[in-house]
Structure 1
Amino acid sequence: MNVFQRLEYWGDRHHPAWLDVVRIGLGVFLFAKGIGFISDTTRLTELVSGLRIDFWPVVAVHYVAFAHIFGGFLIAFGLLTRFACLVQIPILVVAVFFVNIRQGFSYLNSELWISLLCLFLTLLFYIVGSGRMSMDDWMRRHPS
């Protein structure tokens, strides 16, 4: 049993029911954030362009928007939760350490705190998994 399998086994065994409500809330929030990004792509393009990354900003904008939409949907329903969290982690790391930190580390910078909270919760659900109130668990119990 390698480290990832032991971590996954531990996460499946230590998952309280109230954490499922938090997972659903995180998924709905990421889904709404993705809808907000896709409806206002100019704002997201400005954020990505300010990073001076050498790849096409339109690709980054669409990756972020669609990853939030589909990843948030999957996290909310508890379907492929660990994979959806893995897709979200690079986006949230860039949001915390490269985009939002430029505006200052103060209590007034709410986007930084929201990004930090989302990053923490995404890492948490990557470790502990989707829980009992999820499509993953339902599919495990009903293999046919």
Structure 2
Amino acid sequence: MDTSVKGWNKWANAHTYYSLDILRVALGVFLIIKGAYFITNSREFEDVITPVSNFLGGMFVFHYIASAHIMGGFLIIFGLLTRWCIIAQLPILIGAVAINFIGEMNALNLILALLTLGISIFFLFYGSGKHSADYYFKMEK
């Protein structure tokens, strides 16, 4: 099997299912909701990142996470630049998993972060699939 991105796209387009498209859309919606949640509950977010805020710069991290989740979520929903959006999410999701071990452990947050990270890694390799804007624009050539 071809291990290039083009080979992965061929495989994904041959094995496309509506359930995977629904999962991609659900991932995008979840990211948008989490981004909006961070914006509306900024004090709680500051409490969560307290263990690493001096190291990373709290306001930069806050703006990066909120904007990456919201903009990336919309693009993932439409299947546009999905892999690039997932790459932008990976540091956030890895940080979300790690923050549970550095700071106070929250089992629900850890499970959500691990699940979202796993789904994101899947779509990093799978791509956006056949029912996406990426596929549509590729076929327009």
Q: What is the alpha-carbon distance in structure 1 between the residues aligned to residue 86 and residue 10 of structure 2?
A: 17
Provide closer, same or farther for how the CA distance between residues 26 and 138 of structure 1 changes in structure 2, counting only shifts above 3 A.
same
1:132 matched residue in structure 2: 130
2:89 matched residue in structure 1: 88
- How far is the alpha carbon of 1:45 from its aligned partner? 1.7
Provide closer, same or farther for how the CA distance between residues 121 and 53 of structure 1 changes in structure 2, counting only shifts above 3 A.
farther
1:100 matched residue in structure 2: 100
1:1-144 maps to which residues of 2 (within 5 A)?
A: 3-51=4-52, 53-96=54-97, 98-101=98-101, 102-104=103-105, 109-143=107-141
Partner deviation per Cα, 1:27-78 (whole Å, 9 max, x = no partner):
0010111011111112112212222552321100110111100111111110
Quick one: percent identity of the two aligned structures? Answer: 35
Letter in 1 for 2:140: H
Q: What is the alpha-carbon distance in structure 2 between the residues aligned to residue 125 and residue 38 of structure 1?
A: 26
Partner deviation per Cα, 1:78-101 (whole Å, 9 max, x = no partner):
0000000011011101101x2224
Q: Which secondary structure state, in structure 2, belongs to the residue aligned with residue 130 of structure 1?
A: coil
Q: What is the alpha-carbon distance in structure 1 between the residues aligned to residue 85 and residue 127 of structure 2?
A: 11
- How far is the alpha carbon of 1:5 from its aligned partner? 4.6
Letter in 2 for 1:130: S
Letter in 2 for 1:10: W
Number of aligned residue pairs: give it. 139
- How far is the alpha carbon of 1:25 from its aligned partner? 0.5
Q: Taking structure 2 as the reference length, what is the TM-score of the superposition?
A: 0.87
Provide closer, same or farther for how the CA distance between residues 26 and 129 of structure 1 changes in structure 2, counting only shifts above 3 A.
same
Provide closer, same or farther for how the CA distance between residues 124 and 53 of structure 1 changes in structure 2, counting only shifts above 3 A.
farther
Q: What is the alpha-carbon distance in structure 2 between the residues aligned to residue 126 and residue 56 of structure 1?
A: 28
Q: What is the alpha-carbon distance in structure 1 between the residues aligned to residue 6 and residue 117 of structure 2?
A: 22
Structure 1: which 5+ residue stretches go unaligned? Answer: none
Q: What is the alpha-carbon distance in structure 1 between the residues aligned to residue 130 and residue 4 of structure 2?
A: 23
